[in-house]
A and B are shown apart, each in its own frame.
Chain A
């Protein structure tokens, strides 16, 4: 059984914390930026690796759409245990477009005999949350989002548990082939094995171009800004002790203390 796992590079957490850095560096070409595997995708890859641990005949391919950072994180996925990485080479505005990415994944899916596509339910950067679902719609195969565990796999079916809003959850049965969009935090992703990463060559990391794909994007980002405030946002000044006193003063005013 072959599983295709979609992977996206995102900025390292520390760089996300300063909007000024983001505003000035909203390009993946900047050599000063470091990238990691999108958290949701990392958990999704780990689920595939857990299946492979139990059944070594399972073959895991990872796919990423983009430029250099995509190539780097694909190497990491091979280091973690994936059998092959596929880079769909394209510029960054395409890599952030769910319509474009789903077309690319659809094409690779159709060239192979994958039983499942594993995907993170969203990316930490663009937070579209739709790429896997859109790919499933284009391929006319079933898909669910918010998957937290795989309960059972048989020849033609899989049973998964998924989360909904407000603490509700569901068990769903999907016919294979299907696409599962995983929630984050559901397992503990392992570290890549450096020796495996050093052995990566043209047979394990394949670079493809996108000439055959429609290159028109569905929407473009025109401007980035700090989020609008929904509350006053008064910043307390003074020493940490003064601030703690002010905190307790508020509780007194609100008749809690």
Chain B
């Protein structure tokens, strides 16, 4: 049985974007393995129309009869698929739910699991972030099969339009391992961050109510500005959820994003990477936020805010 690169498109909301990202990743893997790529989708009503939208023609559509799936149900379906289709790599997106499905199938298939891949460096060699995104590690897969999750924004380019044509459909009735979703709550609808031209964001380096007051005072002096923050500030109860920028918060793209005392975890970067211009202030010259900034200011962020306020006044 020929091994395949299997890409798992498990999103029901952003299916096209997710499929394109996975196909791009799969085609990059194919450079090293020369194996065929198979895209797995769930309950796609018109597989040929979907194929033309993503410019890819090797698709397996799994019909489950369900509106949405728990990650273990996705895993259950994949377990059935890999009984018949051998794989070298089984690739997923990096969302919480995709990671849950990926871990499920890795545990069942005795494959290794390598998460949050940024780059494919060589055959079986991948780059990923470690140590709060302060370092990049080159890791080598040691098993014959691997389950991979693809990091947020690394493979979002449009894939090249090449694939062997193969459209298949199969029916699977998924079983759950014992998880039932009682309720799903979506994000709060609006936030002052949505329309701001400049966002002044505060991070763990400035986690006290006095510092919060300081950043609001500066914000008052800059028109069309809003105050944002990284996760630890919300955890400390200093600012509300609607101001959090990052994977579990809001995704923003202002003209200027300025980060004060933010270290720059990959979770935070995900939320502000599309900003037009990024200025960061941090006393730690090795802070990873500086790798994602246009302008870097190595200073005590609290003192810098005071000087900034004086200059504005």
Contacts and interface: CB of A to CB of B under 8 A. Distances in A.
Interface of A: 11, 16-19, 22-23, 98-99, 102, 124-130, 133-138, 140-146, 159, 162-175, 178, 183-186, 216-236, 240-241, 243-248, 250-251, 254, 256-257
B15 to A, nearest CB: 15
B291 A230 contact: yes
Contacts of B103: 130, 133-134, 136-137
A167 B249 contact: yes
B130 A225 contact: no
Given A130-B106, A172-B180, A185-B231, 13 more contacts: A125-B130, A142-B177, A163-B248, A164-B97, A166-B251, A185-B234, A185-B235, A220-B142, A228-B136, A231-B293, A232-B295, A256-B255, A257-B223
B99 A218 contact: no
A231 B308 CA distance: 24
Nearest to A130: B103
Contacts of A99: 106, 112-113
A124 B296 CA distance: 24
Nearest to B104: A137
Interface string B125-145: 100111111111111111100
A226 B106 contact: no
Interface in B95-123: 95-97, 99-100, 102-108, 112-116
For A175, A216, A226, A247, which residue has the most chain B Cβ atoms within 10 angstroms? A247
B96 A141 contact: no
B136 A225 contact: yes
Contacts of A168: 184-187
Nearest to B108: A137
Contacts of A254: 197-198, 255-256, 276-277
**Interface range for B:** 35 or more
Contact of B100 (A23, A141, A143, A185): A143
Contacts of A145: 96, 99-100
B250 interface: yes
A140 B108 CA distance: 9
B170 interface: no
B275 to A, nearest CB: 10
B294 interface: yes
Contacts of A227: 129, 133-136, 288, 291
Given A171-B183, A219-B112, A219-B114, A250 B235 contact: no
A257 B308 CA distance: 13
Contacts of B292: 229-231
Contacts of B113: 98-99, 128, 130, 134, 218
Contact of B129 (A127, A222, A241, A246): A127
Contacts of A135: 107
Interface of B: 72, 75, 95-97, 99-100, 102-108, 112-116, 125, 128-143, 146, 176-188, 197-198, 222-225, 231-232, 234-236, 241-242, 244, 247-251, 255-256, 258, 266, 269, 273, 276-279, 284, 286-288, 290-299, 303-304, 307-308, 310-312
A186 B234 CA distance: 10
A222 B99 contact: no
A172 B141 contact: no
Contacts of B249: 166-167
B295 A225 contact: no
13 contacts: A19-B286, A127-B115, A127-B131, A133-B103, A133-B107, A146-B96, A167-B250, A175-B179, A185-B236, A218-B141, A221-B138, A223-B138, A228-B291
Contacts of A146: 96, 248
A194 B113 CA distance: 39
Contacts of B97: 164
Contacts of B181: 170-172
Given A19-B134, A129-B115, A134-B106, A256 B231 contact: no
B37 to A, nearest CB: 22
B114 A170 contact: no
A225 B134 contact: no
B74 to A, nearest CB: 12
Given A99-B113, A220-B140, A166 B183 contact: no
A241 B224 CA distance: 24
Contact of A133 (B99, B178, B185, B278): B99
Given A164-B95, A167-B249, A223-B138, A233 B180 contact: no
Contacts of A225: 135-136, 138
B137 A224 contact: yes
A108 B240 CA distance: 40
Contacts of B255: 254, 256
Interface centre among B104, B131, B184 (most CB of A within 10 A): B131
Given A22-B134, A227-B134, A241-B311, A247 B297 contact: yes
Contacts of B104: 133, 136-137
A124 B129 CA distance: 11
